[in-house]
């Protein structure tokens, strides 16, 4: 009974914290949760579909990711041009549906027809939808929060999207993986059938987003930014963070497929890793303040570096074990790095837009530009190493270099937030 009362009291306490947010912010958070359930269809299962269709050609997955990031950048730019006439609420909804229709077209194809051109098109248009979505989501996050509740909002927001990354990969991954393994149905049928789930989630995202204010537009159409020392540090932080994010986008899925097993293992490992990450991030975000951000990111750096070294050590004789270590610690790192970085970016955007009389959108786009440059640089490095070196050398070289670069993310956070 004591445990029950403790848990009940904890839940009531957290409920009170969430209810502090205004009604429209709570609906926005709920919309973000359903997008978290939708998100794995283009982050994870598009990659597994391409991996299966191209018989494990990792180069095609890297190409898909490169063009996804190019599309994301295009989505941010397009949103900047049209957001004086189309509200950010409607842009967010449009981005979700562009992603859905691209995934629908990809999964509807016969796997034997998948080639590099299709991979490029799928990556670009999925990225375009993602860019439109995230440009709107970032700007709405800026407008619907303030620096006093931003760490908690960023933590809750990240937890909910992570919860989606648990449920969808686990359920859909097991469904696809076991169905194919036991010959209950073909791979083509498996991927086409899960589109109904993606459709339902896109509808739910739309319904809750419609409760968000429809009067948030850009006042100015320019994407030009005025920089200072603070903003230069933000740019550098997100360039280095983008280098890591490119690895997180492709490495967990394809490494699990290559060294451990099929879609069911992808889903199961994703779920287990995110459960622990969620508990950690909720604990940290509900208690952290601005001065804790750099310390949290420094911990993320050491965790990821440990994972890359363990993978490199075990790869020659126990690749599966090394992959378990890497994926577990990589998921942990992704959550620890991203939520304080996002809170830092929103804080810096709010500060600089007040000094230069800007609406802030051009600064969110500027951050995304530097993050995309970092992501593309990471993927180009990965592609080059994979083409030149055997996999047992190229894979460790890539992930260790990615980990080493993250120390600069910590250094930039120190400049912006302090220790």
Secondary structure (DSSP) of 378-406: HHHHHHHHHHHS-HHHHHHHHHHHHHHHH
The interaxial angle of helices 195-209 and 23-38, nearest 10 deg, is 170
> 142: which 2 tokens?
């800026």
- CA pair distance 200, 390, nearest whole angstrom: 43
pLDDT on residue 372 = 85
CB atoms under 10 Å from CB of 265, counted, come to 18
> 381: which 2 tokens?
């490095």
- Residue 412 DSSP one-character state: H
**Which stretches of the chain drop beneath a pLDDT of 70?**
1-20, 147-151, 218-223, 261-267, 270, 278, 281-291, 353-360, 418-419
10 within a domain of the structure (yes/no): no
117 within a domain of the structure (yes/no): yes
Provide the sign of the torsion angle of the four alpha carbons 289, 282, 202, 49, taken in this order: positive
Predicted TM-score (pTM) of this structure:
0.76
Residues 6 or more apart whose CB falls under 8 angstroms from that of 193 comprise: 185
pLDDT on residue 122 = 94
> 356: which 2 tokens?
């230069």
pLDDT on residue 231 = 82
Q: Total structural domains in the chain?
A: 1
- Residue 225 DSSP one-character state: -
15 within a domain of the structure (yes/no): no
221 within a domain of the structure (yes/no): no
3 within a domain of the structure (yes/no): no
13 within a domain of the structure (yes/no): no
**Of 255, 257, 250, 274, the residue nearest 338 (C-alpha):** 274
pLDDT on residue 287 = 63
Secondary structure of 24-77 as H, E, C letters: HHHHHHHHHHHHHHHCHHHHHHHHHHHHHHCCCCHHHHHHHHHHHHHHHHHHHH
pLDDT on residue 286 = 62
| Residue 251 burial by Cβ neighbours in a 10 Å radius (0-12, 13-18, 19+) | buried
**Of 44, 34, 13, 36, the residue nearest 256 (C-alpha):** 44
Q: Are 416 and 265 in contact (CB under 8 A)?
A: no
pLDDT on residue 325 = 86
> 340: which 2 tokens?
């304080």
pLDDT tens digits for 7-65?
556 556 556 666 667 778 788 888 988 998 998 888 888 988 888 888 877 788 888 98
Looking up tokens 């540090």, which residue turns up?
A: 233
**Of 106, 125, 128, 123, the residue nearest 60 (C-alpha):** 123
Residue-number span of the structural domain to which 179 is assigned: 22-213+226-417
Q: Are 163 and 36 in contact (CB under 8 A)?
A: yes
pLDDT on residue 119 = 93
pLDDT on residue 403 = 86
Q: Are 139 and 88 in contact (CB under 8 A)?
A: yes
- CA pair distance 329, 258, nearest whole angstrom: 18
pLDDT on residue 125 = 96
**Of 298, 43, 68, 4, the residue nearest 162 (C-alpha):** 43
11 within a domain of the structure (yes/no): no
220 within a domain of the structure (yes/no): no
Query: Residue 253's domain is classified under what CATH number?
Result: 1.20.1250.20
**Of 100, 117, 119, 105, the residue nearest 50 (C-alpha):** 119
pLDDT on residue 148 = 67
Of the chain, the end-to-end C-alpha distance in Å amounts to 42
pLDDT on residue 410 = 81
- CA pair distance 256, 398, nearest whole angstrom: 16
């Amino acid at each position: 009974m004591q445990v029950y009362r403790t848990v009940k009291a904890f839940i009531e306490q957290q409920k009170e914290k969430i209810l502090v947010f205004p009604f429209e912010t709570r609906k926005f958070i709920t919309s973000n949760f359903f997008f978290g359930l939708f998100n794995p269809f283009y982050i994870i299962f598009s990659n597994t579909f391409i991996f299966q269709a191209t018989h494990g050609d990792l180069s095609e997955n890297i190409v898909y990711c490169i063009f996804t990031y190019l599309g994301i950048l295009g989505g941010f730019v397009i949103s900047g041009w049209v957001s004086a006439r189309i509200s950010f609420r409607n842009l967010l909804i449009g981005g979700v549906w562009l992603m859905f229709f691209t995934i629908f077209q990809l999964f509807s194809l016969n796997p034997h027809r998948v080639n590099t051109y299709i991979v490029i098109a799928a990556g670009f248009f999925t990225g375009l939808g993602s860019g439109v979505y995230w440009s709107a989501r970032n700007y709405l996050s800026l407008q619907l929060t303030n620096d006093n509740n931003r760490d908690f909002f960023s933590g809750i927001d990240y937890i909910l999207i992570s919860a989606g990354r648990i449920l969808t990969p686990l359920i859909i991954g097991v469904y696809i993986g076991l169905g194919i393994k036991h010959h209950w149905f073909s791979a083509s049928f498996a991927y086409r059938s899960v589109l109904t789930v993606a459709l339902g989630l896109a509808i739910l995202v739309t319904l809750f987003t419609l409760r968000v204010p429809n009067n948030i537009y850009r006042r100015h159409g320019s994407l030009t930014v005025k920089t200072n020392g603070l903003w230069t540090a933000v740019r550098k932080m997100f360039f280095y963070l983008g280098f890591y994010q490119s690895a997180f986008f492709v490495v967990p899925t394809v490494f699990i497929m290559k060294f451990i097993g099929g879609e069911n293992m992808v889903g199961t490992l994703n779920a287990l890793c995110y459960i622990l990450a969620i508990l950690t991030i909720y604990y940290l975000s509900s208690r952290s303040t601005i001065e804790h951000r750099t310390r949290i990111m420094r911990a993320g750096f050491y965790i990821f570096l440990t994972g890359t070294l363990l993978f490199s050590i075990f790869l020659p004789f126990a690749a599966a074990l090394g992959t378990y270590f890497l994926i577990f610690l990589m998921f942990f790192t992704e959550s620890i790095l991203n939520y304080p970085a996002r809170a830092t970016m929103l804080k810096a955007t709010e500060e600089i837009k007040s000094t230069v009389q800007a609406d802030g959108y051009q600064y969110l786009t500027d951050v995304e530009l530097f993050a995309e440059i970092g992501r593309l640089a990471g993927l180009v490095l990965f592609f080059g190493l994979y083409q030149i070196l055997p996999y047992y050398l190229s894979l460790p070289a890539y992930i260790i270099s990615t980990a080493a670069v993250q120390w600069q993310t910590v250094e930039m956070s120190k400049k912006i937030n302090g220790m």
